[in-house]
Structure 1
Amino acid sequence: MQFVPVVDSNQRPLMPTTFARAEHWIKSGKATPFFRKGIFCVRLNVEPSNRHTQAVAVGIDPGSKREGYTVKSKAHTYLNQQFHAVDWVKDSEEASTNARRARRSRKTPYRPNRQNRKRGGIPPSTKARWQFKIRVVKVFATIFPISDIGIEDVKAITKKGGKRWNTSFSPLEVGKQWCYSELEKIAPVTKFDGYNDTYLTRQELGLKKSKAKLSNGFNAHCVDSWVMAYLMVGGDSGPENTAVRECKPIRIYRRQLHVFNPGKDGYRRPYGGSMSQGLKRGGIVKHPKYGKCYVGGEDVQKSRISLHSLDTGKRLCQNAKPADCKFLAYNSWRTVKPSF
């Protein structure tokens, strides 16, 4: 059974409802439909009959290529969502570093040390991965009354005799501790061991996990996120809802002064950034010819933008006029496979 998230007129999340009831509310004018990051929701136009909320947990199964998320109460499984991990930051930072080093050697033989630069922190690639988990849970918290968050506590590779590295200097350890502290601001966080908690409970319930880690089925990643949510709120010994929404983050390239290689006329066009001719990149727009799509890059000289398909991510055109595009909503990921 599929469920629809519900919020009141002040955007406060209530308990989800069924599609049939949501449809009845919309037809009678009691609710207004809207989408939140691709998730169909309804907003009540009247005072809700009951504001009591049950315990609703979010289970998170981290992964290097795919990640699983489950939103569940004791009675129902409301949402199973699988995301492609943010795995392109490391290569982008390496290219940026190499370009900066080459430029530095060409311009000056010696660059003085600048003490005003920030020291320490989390590496960009590590922070991007953990930050995406926080963003996803924050979106869930705006449409579900989240009371608990469970996450599988991944461990970094330890080094023999490396006490300082093993306890505090591993980027993964530093990144996950920062992520846990940020998630605690949303709801209490419970950390689960991959074997003693997730695996043994899965075996006890008779659930199997697929070895095809890149598949978009429930048994790939969402089965573990469901188990963690089950451990927090309880319920039946098996999920009644195994539909999975597969989503992929929209990559927005970091702003550069210009591209590395000049064009035929020797002009180095600007590259990257978060805006295209006044429209937010990744934002959903409606075009007279291409329908609903999202905004990509821009041509500064011609004042044109590129549009991309919401289904495949492929570029539809490079010469769309911004005036022809009606902005609909901000967006940061697209749905690869809907849940129904």
Structure 2
Amino acid sequence: MRVPVVDKDHQPLMPTTPGRARKWIASGKAVKHWSDTGQFYVQLKIEPSGCDTQDIVIGIDPGKKFSGIGVQSAKLTLYTAHLILPFQAVRDRMDARRLMRRGRRGRRINRKVDFSKRAHRQKRFSNRRQDKLAPSIRVNRQLELRVVSELGQIYPVSEIRYEYVKADVDLTSGRKKSRSGRGFSAVMVGQKWMLRQLEQFAPVVKVEGYQTASTRKYLGLIKNKLDKSKAEFNTHAVDGVAIAATAFVEYQKYHTTKIDGANWFGCVTVTPAIFKVIRRPPYSRRQLHLMVPAKGGVRRKYGGSTTRHGLRKGDLVSSPKGIGYVSGDTEKQVSVSNANWKRLGQITSSKVQLIRRSNGLIVA
């Protein structure tokens, strides 16, 4: 276990031991902080003894509903995370938006008159872009980018390794297809966009799936393939660590005067590390138009991130029911939920104390 360290200008340095970090805090040489990804770190108030850093690699195992993150050095595993992606929620909301728009168009257009006299609105712009990225896929990649950016602020990241999915090309149609021949998966779409974004943080190396599997097997790591929805290290974070470890170990062929063969070269040590489950606050966005129009034309308030008590949804608060996140409100009460967004209770607003404003992440 290591504690991240940053200098006075918030530039990341090499992590230190928990004992040394406690001594720095007790003597006033450093102050403690928490990152948005739930990582405890210290900031030095004095000049560091040295600024030399070793290689620290972030490994990303992208998925459609879940992703795994691992931060690895040659000697230690520094951080692991399981990301619950908002793919399905965004897709359902896009479907609902499509239905609501269709309903509004149906109510606006009078089909009893001739087609040439109907109130059809002319298009304002062309939405047939060839480089369009689906919102459900974009939001998945943006959550991964958010976590990587937060980790890059406290770790001196030298490289980012990303599991890349290859696709074949059908010579008859010219279209790309997956190796199974069943078309693209959500992992394939948008990964080129993701790689361009990651290059803004550190050099990016693409790692293929077979390399991840062989490295994981060589390191003796076990993957839970039965239930990938479980928020545990062995479902997706284990692949994040294996992907990051490919920077330090590699299976290579060798040739001598007597033998032709292959073996593993390099050295890396996987150790127990902090494990976090990260998701976005799953509250509903503000809707100006509901599925069914209200009688009299008066729309009721639905969704949004604000409450009537000076708090925002996603704020971390302290309450008599425990520490949790603001998830809703009534006229006199505030709904407080845990990290799994299960309601702890509805509590009088005067008994709820703000700990930290919402940062767009729920970390458990």
Could you state the TM-score of these two structures normalised by the residue count of structure 1? 0.84
Separation (CA, whole Å) in 2 of partners of 1:188 and 1:15: 19
Q: Per-residue displacement from partner, 1:198-245 (whole Å, max 9, x unpaired)?
A: 122233334332223233443322222112211114564541225532
Separation (CA, whole Å) in 2 of partners of 1:157 and 1:267: 54
Separation (CA, whole Å) in 1 of partners of 2:148 and 2:316: 21
Corresponding residue for residue 308 of structure 1: 337
Judge which range, 43-52 or 321-330, deviates more. 321-330
Q: Which of the pair has more CA radius of gyration?
A: 2
Separation (CA, whole Å) in 2 of partners of 1:285 and 1:157: 50
The yes-or-no answer on 1:114 pairing with 2:123 is yes
Corresponding residue for residue 65 of structure 2: 65
Match of 2:190 among 169, 175, 190: 175
Separation (CA, whole Å) in 1 of partners of 2:51 and 2:307: 42
Separation (CA, whole Å) in 1 of partners of 2:242 and 2:157: 17
How far apart are residue 60 of structure 1 and its match? 0.6
Separation (CA, whole Å) in 2 of partners of 1:274 and 1:165: 41
Amino acid in structure 2 at the alignment position of 1:314: K
Corresponding residue for residue 51 of structure 1: 51
Q: Which stretches in structure 1 are left out of the alignment for 5+ residues?
A: none
Q: Confirm or deny: 8 A CA contact 2:169 2:175 kept in the other structure.
A: no
Q: Confirm or deny: 8 A CA contact 1:276 1:295 kept in the other structure.
A: no
How far apart are residue 164 of structure 1 and its match? 4.2
Q: Per-residue displacement from partner, 1:171-208 (whole Å, max 9, x unpaired)?
A: 7545111111000000111111101x112223333433
Separation (CA, whole Å) in 2 of partners of 1:118 and 1:188: 33
Corresponding residue for residue 99 of structure 2: 98
SS of the residue 2:206 aligns to: strand
Call closer, same or farther: CA 1:193–1:303 in 2, change over 3 Å. Answer: same
Identity of aligned residues (%): 36
Q: Which stretches in structure 2 are left out of the alignment for 5+ residues?
A: 111-118, 250-265
Corresponding residue for residue 157 of structure 2: 146
How far apart are residue 105 of structure 1 and its match? 0.3
Amino acid in structure 1 at the alignment position of 2:283: I
Call closer, same or farther: CA 1:238–1:48 in 2, change over 3 Å. Answer: closer
The yes-or-no answer on 1:240 pairing with 2:271 is yes
Corresponding residue for residue 204 of structure 1: 218
Separation (CA, whole Å) in 2 of partners of 1:173 and 1:220: 20
Call closer, same or farther: CA 1:209–1:290 in 2, change over 3 Å. Answer: closer
Call closer, same or farther: CA 1:241–1:66 in 2, change over 3 Å. Answer: same
Separation (CA, whole Å) in 2 of partners of 1:111 and 1:8: 61
Could you state the TM-score of these two structures normalised by the residue count of structure 2? 0.79
Q: Confirm or deny: 8 A CA contact 1:258 1:269 kept in the other structure.
A: no
Call closer, same or farther: CA 1:322–1:181 in 2, change over 3 Å. Answer: farther
CA RMSD of aligned residues (A): 3.1
**How many positions carry a matched residue from both structures?**
329
